[in-house]
Amino acid sequence: MTQRVTERALDGVKVLDLTHHITGPYCTKLMADFGAEVLKVERPGGDPSRRMAPFLNDDIHPEKSLVFAYLNTNKQSITLNLKSEKGLQLLKSLIEQTDVLVENFSPRVMTSLGLDFGALEKINPGLVMTSISNFGQTGPYRDYKAADIVEYAMGGLMYISGAYDREPLKHAFNQAQFKAGTDGASATLMAMYHQRLTGEGQHIDISIQEAVATGLRDVVNNFTYSGAVRRRQPNHSGDLSRLRASSDGHIIPNPGIGAGLNWNVMVEFMGIPELGGDKFNSPSARLANAEELGQILDDYFIKQNKYERFYAAHEKRFIFGVVQSPEEVMADPQFEARNFFVDIDHPALGTLKYPGAPFEMSGTPWEARTAAPALGQHNLEVIGQKLGHSPEDLAQMRANQII
């Protein structure tokens, strides 16, 4: 055995991962990347995200999905047909030995397989079972269908996103799925903390809709505090944190937070005399003259270079931001200094740069120990060696399409 250089935060935590697509795999990826032992159980055809674009060189191949490769680092993969008696039996022996089971089927599925929490806690009383679903395990929408856009809409983020005079707009790709995956990982560790102290397991119900609806700042409070329904903001709302076009992209020229801002320094920095005087020099005045302020800022920033203004602003401690393209993100000196992008070598993908640690831990750092597994890569090791089945048994199972 090789000597370990670092400690891992979740050393000794065993996770049985029945998840697919994005939200569940991100939940278990977070745990795997910080040291949990994650065993991914795939249907014989594989996690559907193996067929999710983008692929390396657009080559549609189950080992070449880039999203799958990202979401499944540090995991092992076995295949099991849960619709077969033998497959279920093997799964139950794995459940006996795990701390955590994570799944993101629609709410009826686990029960229909006889794998509801009530049944599983009899096999393993300390089991923490985490179920992530579109709308949770209860309630009138329990069996509603959804995609990320539907969760965005029903979670309340979409109504306030986009242009004032156009249809609401969702964020690119799969943000609702990632939110719920992160929440699933947090809640799982809360339950694991309790389990390590008391031996008691429990069932966790995560709703993707609620994951979105938890992070809306004052959208709901606008109604409870003032009877107002907030909407998408017009361009000239005067909100200083709004995006403005620059000559070479976009900049977020937010000078500072609330009362801490010295407006006159800002006016001088931008060199726009019209912004001086009483009209704009307090938050209340800026709200009252919002439209005019918005127009002045638009006219100014369209002539500026975004990085030049960004760095110059920070000299003055104005908290400006820049909108970066993927190319600019990957060349970002801050990410570079923090080694955010890491090289991972994968048999079918070769060595590629992946987004790395979402945050840093000084004592137990994020690690890419292994690339995403090939489908069923660990059948022999896990079902054969760990569960004690002979190579003949395995051949038999393969012939019967159990693995």
Binding flag, residue 44, another protein (CB under 8 A): no
Instruction: Write down the least CB distance from residue 369 to another protein, Å.
Output: 16
- 109 vs 149, beta carbon nearer another protein: 149
Tokens of 189: 């560790």
Instruction: Write down the least CB distance from residue 133 to another protein, Å.
Output: 11
Q: Which long-range contacts (C-beta less than 8 Å, at least 24 apart) are formed by 382-385?
A: 382/39, 382/76, 382/78, 382/94, 383/78, 383/90
Instruction: Write down the least CB distance from residue 92 to another protein, Å.
Output: 21
State how far the Cα of 285 lies from the Cα of 275, in Å rounded to an integer. 11
Binding flag, residue 395, another protein (CB under 8 A): no
Site map for another protein, 111-150, x if CB under 8 A? ------x-----------------xx-xxxx--xxxx-xx
Site map for another protein, 183-212, x if CB under 8 A? xxxxx-xxxxxx-xx--xxxxxxxxxxxx-
Instruction: Write down the least CB distance from residue 54 to another protein, Å.
Output: 4
Binding flag, residue 9, another protein (CB under 8 A): yes
State how far the Cα of 68 lies from the Cα of 77, in Å rounded to an integer. 12
| Among 60, 229, 302, 395, contact with another protein (rule: CB under 8 A) | 229
**Buried b vs exposed e over 369-392: b needs ≥16 C-beta within 10 Å?**
ebbbbebbbbbeebbbeeeebeee
Q: What is the DSSP string of 280-298?
A: SSSHHHHHHTHHHHHHHHH
Instruction: Write down the least CB distance from residue 42 to another protein, Å.
Output: 19
CA-closest candidate to residue 325, choices 249, 260, 267, 214:
249
Binding flag, residue 45, another protein (CB under 8 A): no
Binding flag, residue 269, another protein (CB under 8 A): no
For residue 247, what are the contacts with CB-CB under 8 A and spacing of at least 6? 302, 303, 304, 305, 306
With contacts defined by CB under 8 A, name the span among 39-47, 77-85, 287-295, 367-375 that binds another protein: 287-295
Pairing assessment for the beta strands 14-17 and 37-42 based on DSSP bridges: parallel
CA-closest candidate to residue 380, choices 369, 372, 391:
391
Omega of the bond prior to 347 within 30 degrees of 0, cis?
A: no
With contacts defined by CB under 8 A, name the span among 76-84, 231-239, 296-304, 379-387 that binds another protein: 231-239
| Among 2, 112, 284, 390, contact with another protein (rule: CB under 8 A) | 284
Binding flag, residue 381, another protein (CB under 8 A): no
| Among 263, 269, 307, 335, contact with another protein (rule: CB under 8 A) | 335
